[in-house]
Amino acid sequence: MLENIRIKNVALIEESEIKFKKGLNILSGETGAGKSMIIDSINFALGSRVTRDFIRKDEEVAKVEVLFSGNKNINDILSENGIDTEEDYSIIINRTFNNSGKSVFRVNGTIVTAGTVKSISENLIDIHGQHEHQSLLNPKKHIFLLDKFCGQNLDEKLSILGDLYSQYKSIVKSIDDLNGDEMQRAQRMDMLRFQKEDIENAKLKRGEEEELNDRRKVLSNLEKVVRLSGTSLELLYEGNGENSSASDNISEALYNINTLSDIDPSVSQIAENLETVSALLDDVCHELKSYFRSVESDPDELVEIDERLNLIYGLKRKYGKNIDEILNFYDKITKELDFMENSEEILSELYSKKSKLENNINSLCDDISKIRKEKALIIEKSVEKELRDLEMKNASFKISITDKNMFTSKGRDNVEFLISPNMGEELKPLAKIASGGEMSRVMLALKSILSEVDTIDTFIFDEIDTGVSGRTAQKVAEKMSQVSIKNQIICITHLPQIAAMADSHFLIEKHSANNRTTTDIIALSKEKSINEIGRLMGGVTITEATLQAAEDMKKQADGFKIGIRLNN
């Protein structure tokens, strides 16, 4: 729900904050006091366009911040847009707008585009009366709302349909690939054959490049290799005539220590350790001698290695970063080429599978349409009953379900809500209803029915009391109170019947000081709320009788709310 809004430098509002609550939040005040500025500020924060006149006179920047809480349904949308999510699912949307016409949007501190804000906000709030943020005016939403009413039976069938439709799309893509332009297909096959042969001729082996580079390093430093290995062999084993080798010195030392151990047995362990050293040195010398003898100078080998490495580098530029990637690419194009070369047989199998899937999908779509149409009849009657309660006694409501002659993962149905507000008028899409007050009452009726399944928590009604009075006003007030049991409603009104039903009541008033006019928003106590109801009932002059009537109206409203809450 919408918990909080902070407004700064917007039209007549210098700086103000409203803390909305659950249930029915009422905004009232004198004509021209600035009630619509609250709705305009919310619209502004949620992405609507404004002009520089939106900024308070003599100020540089207008700023609005709104806080929504407890809506986990849009965490996926936030994550997709790289926006941090909060543990309590709260969402802070902030917008600034300066005199140069530049806007900056932030969601949970992350700078985003206006489009992102709109995609988020349409899942948070519906604003009725100004034809903005109205999910029910978007026909694409209608099938979603209808399906929510249809229950588990439809959910199960849609889940099966989703799986079948995914298989169907995959098969259609494969068929399209095989049935593509014949010239393009032939060119593709020629390219695949060339690439396949190109890699096959190279006869690559995994790890080969590393081995070649190691061998090339040795051959490129052959003189140094011979010198280092030969010198090391002299020092360890052969000696150089002037100096004895390490092997000779260790042998002599071992003879001396063995003789010493005959005299002093305590050095026998030293003798054993030295024997181990002598044996290890013999092994090292043997390996080094073999290595030294294996080093050969063959100029042709270096040339061959360079040619082989150049071949591998050329393949890497075309097919992958290393030999593993090249061989994986080879496996991939081999499968694709086999698929294309055996296309006739494969196509036959694909068409057979496609036909079976189409039959299964169409049968499932028939079942889905049947469920929707049965549920639509029930909803139509319920909505018309709600409209009669709201004094639109001749209104007709219909859920149009037509066949699109093509199926998707949602079936074949095109769903749209239609309305005829008055007798003799044809049914029209909701968006074509002209009257703001009439539109708001239709939306209120629909919300009464759809609130059980709609994921949006907050509804704002502006101009809902246009052309409404007396009994109709009372019915509208009662209906709003019923809807507000499970949803938050924010409503601007001039009607005392609606104001009396408020769970939270805010007064919008204007005052002037120091040659400036400012609009303030004041949260009213119960006593002050009764005074405001009296003003709405009696105009400028509020008598004791008016206040008593206002108090009675408030008591009746409280009694009504207690009754409906007990029944819910």
- Please report which confidence band the pLDDT of residue 83 belongs to, taking 50, 70 and 90 as the band edges: confident
Type of residue at 464: I
Out of 152-161, 220-229, 401-410, 415-424, pick the least confident: 220-229
Higher pLDDT, 347 or 70: 347
Residues 432, 436: Cα–Cα separation, whole Å: 11
Please calculate the CA angle 256-261-263 and round it to the nearest 5 degrees.
Answer: 105
Residues 57, 9: Cα–Cα separation, whole Å: 8
Q: Does 546 have pLDDT greater than 60? A: yes
- Please report which confidence band the pLDDT of residue 130 belongs to, taking 50, 70 and 90 as the band edges: very low
pLDDT score recorded for residue 568: 64
Task: Return the percentage of the chain with pLDDT > 90, whole number.
Answer: 40
What is the average pLDDT score of the chain? Answer: 86
Q: What is the 3-state secondary structure (H, E, C) of 255-309?
A: HHHHHHHHHCHHHHHHHHHHHHHHHHHHHHHHHHHHHHHHCCCCHHHHHHHHHHH
Query: CB neighbours of 477 closer than 8 A, spacing ≥ 6?
Result: 495, 497, 498, 500, 501, 557
Q: Does 268 have pLDDT greater than 50? A: yes
Of 440, 484, 505, 492, residue with least CA distance to 39? 492
Q: Where are the domains of the chain?
A: 1-124+456-568, 202-336
Residues 453, 54: Cα–Cα separation, whole Å: 36
Mean pLDDT of 375-392: 89
Out of 44-58, 286-300, 492-506, pick the least confident: 286-300
Q: How far is CA 13 from CA 362, 378, 508, in A?
A: 58, 46, 10
Q: What is the 3-state secondary structure (H, E, C) of 176-199?
A: HHHCCCHHHHHHHHHHHHHHHHHH
Angle of helix 323-341 versus helix 299-319 axis, rounded to 10: 60
Please calculate the CA angle 397-421-371 and round it to the nearest 5 degrees.
Answer: 5
Mean pLDDT of 384-400: 88
How many residues does this entry show for the chain? 568
Q: How many CA atoms lie within 13 A of 559 on its CB side?
A: 6
Q: Does 21 have pLDDT greater than 90? A: yes
The strand order across the sheet containing 458-461 reads 125-128, 458-461, 488-492, 24-28, 504-513, 516-523
- pLDDT digit string (tens) for 458-500? 888 876 776 677 788 888 899 889 888 888 999 998 899 999 9
- pLDDT digit string (tens) for 439-463? 767 778 877 887 777 778 888 887 6
- Please report which confidence band the pLDDT of residue 436 belongs to, taking 50, 70 and 90 as the band edges: low
Q: Does 129 have pLDDT greater than 70? A: no
Higher pLDDT, 45 or 176: 45
Phi, psi of 372 (to 5 degrees): -65, -45
pLDDT score recorded for residue 362: 95
Residues 488, 38: Cα–Cα separation, whole Å: 16
Task: Return the percentage of the chain with pLDDT > 70, whole number.
Answer: 94
How many contiguous H segments (helices) and E segments (strands) does the chain have? 17, 15
- Please report which confidence band the pLDDT of residue 156 belongs to, taking 50, 70 and 90 as the band edges: very high
Q: How many CA atoms lie within 13 A of 483 on its CB side?
A: 31
Query: CB neighbours of 69 closer than 8 A, spacing ≥ 6?
Result: 1, 3, 88, 89, 90, 91
Q: Where are the alpha helices (DSSP H) in 26-105?
A: 35-45, 75-80
Place of tokens 């690559």: 204
pLDDT score recorded for residue 141: 83
CATH topology for 1-124+456-568 is: Rossmann fold (3.40.50)
Residues 389, 294: Cα–Cα separation, whole Å: 103
The strand order across the sheet containing 91-98 reads 13-19, 2-10, 61-68, 91-98, 103-107, 110-112
CA-based radius of gyration for the chain: 42
pLDDT score recorded for residue 224: 80
pLDDT score recorded for residue 132: 45
* Contact indicator for 451, 487 with CB cutoff of 8 Å: yes
- pLDDT digit string (tens) for 348-362? 899 999 999 999 999
Mean pLDDT of 141-161: 89
Place of tokens 């709609």: 454
Out of 89-93, 94-98, 251-255, 327-331, pick the least confident: 251-255
pLDDT score recorded for residue 131: 47
Residues 545, 542: Cα–Cα separation, whole Å: 8
Query: What is the model's pTM?
Result: 0.61
